[in-house]
Amino acid sequence: MQQYHELMRHIRDNGVRKDDRTGTGTLSVFGYQMRFNLANGFPLVTTKKCHMRSIIHELLWFLQGETNIAYLTENGVSIWDEWATDEGELGPVYGKQWRSWPGLNGEVIDQIAEVVEQIKTNPDSRRLIVSGWNPAVLPDTQYSPKENAAMGKQALPPCHTLFQFYVLEGKLSCQLYQRSGDVFLGVPFNIASYALLTMMVAQVCDLELGDFVHTLGDAHLYVNHLEQTDLQLSREPYPLPTMKINPAVKDIFGFKYEDFELCNYQAHPHIKAPVAI
Ligand SMILES: Nc1nc(=O)c2c([nH]1)NC[C@@H]1CN(c3ccc(C(=O)N[C@@H](CCC(=O)O)C(=O)O)cc3)CN21
Ligand SMILES: O=c1ccn([C@H]2C[C@H](O)[C@@H](COP(=O)(O)O)O2)c(=O)[nH]1
């Protein structure tokens, strides 16, 4: 995970102090790109232990089209708790936009089903895009995330805003545009999540693995994550683990938690950090 270390190092060295919505303060840069060849191993950060369990459940939850944290809670995943209403609602976040984007005349658009179908039938397409960014449901910034969710708006505007697939010589690549990246806490999750999604789509489309390209807009380290960042930067990365996926699954909506097995994950101890709300 040299690429991730270089990003942390880049922000530590070049980031400029910038205020933010949460009132925490950040070191920030604008515009950064990483590339992970998925054939070289599974890009999970090794210089702190990451909870792959949370990442897998969160991705399955997106793919089910869910926007209530009930499924996550049942599976012991608490990463979205701070933004949800007492009823567990987050408003029309990722799951809703991915699986049932409201179209014209009551039409419902399943962007995931459509993009998988396009990859299978029209792999040269330059339009293999899924967008979570729907200006009609963005939160009203004078209200809190929970208040917005209670009003039927998104609790938070999507951070992983838009992704595009690309097929070349039988290999599937994916590029994510992430408008805002919490580099210590969120970005390791985002890298692993999109790497896994790309592997799942490749499997159901009978394609080999290409690259995951991760493009960040506002890439920031919260100022209360700097000690943790320095500790992490002092550690030597281990070789990447691999991810085994049950090869029998051929439907993008047919994956279960038990279909994934992370192998040879050698990591330094977990590093705790407070999440900015
Ligand atoms: N400030 C902020 N950073 C984020 O990364 C983030 C948000 N807000 N809001 C929405 C989601 C929720 N995500 C989160 C939230 C918390 C953790 C977190 O606390 N991670 C810990 C514990 C992981 C676990 O419980 O499995 C970590 O050490 O990685 C990670 C991603 C990503 N997003
Ligand atoms: O998947 C995610 C979701 C969220 N984040 C981070 C990025 C920011 O630090 C906050 C969101 O705050 P905004 O003011 O809406 O940008 O959450 C992430 O890194 N990855």
CA 225 to chain centre: 20
Catalytic residue annotation? 159
Instruction: Compute the half-sphere exposure of residue 157: CA atoms within 13 Å on the CB side of its CA.
Output: 16
pLDDT, residue 75, reads 97
Q: Is 80 a pocket residue for ligand 1 (Cβ < 6 Å)?
A: yes
pLDDT, residue 200, reads 98
Name the closest ligand to CA 157.
Answer: 2
Which tokens belong to 206?
């009978």
Query: Could you tell which of 19, 59, 182 is best to mutate to test the pocket of ligand 2, judged by most ligand atoms within 8 Å of the CB?
Result: 182
What SS3 state is found at 86?
A: coil
pLDDT, residue 55, reads 98
- Count of C-beta atoms within a 10 Å radius of residue 170: 11
How far, in Å, from the CA of 100 to the mean position of ligand 2? 23
Angle subtended by helix axes 186-204 and 111-121, to nearest 10: 50
How far, in Å, from the CA of 189 to the mean position of ligand 1? 8
How far, in Å, from the CA of 197 to the mean position of ligand 2? 19
Query: Do 152 and 188 contact (CB within 8 A), yes or no?
Result: no
Which residues of the chain fall below pLDDT 70? none
ipTM comes to 0.98
Query: Could you tell which of 73, 144, 183, 275 is best to mutate to test the pocket of ligand 1, judged by most ligand atoms within 8 Å of the CB?
Result: 275
The most distant pair of C-alpha atoms in the chain lies apart, rounded to whole Å, by 56
224-241 residue pLDDT tens: 999 999 999 999 999 999
63 has binding-site annotation? no
Contacts 24+ apart (CB under 8 A), 73-78: 75/257, 77/53
The C-alpha atoms of residue 243 and residue 115 are separated, in whole angstroms, by 23
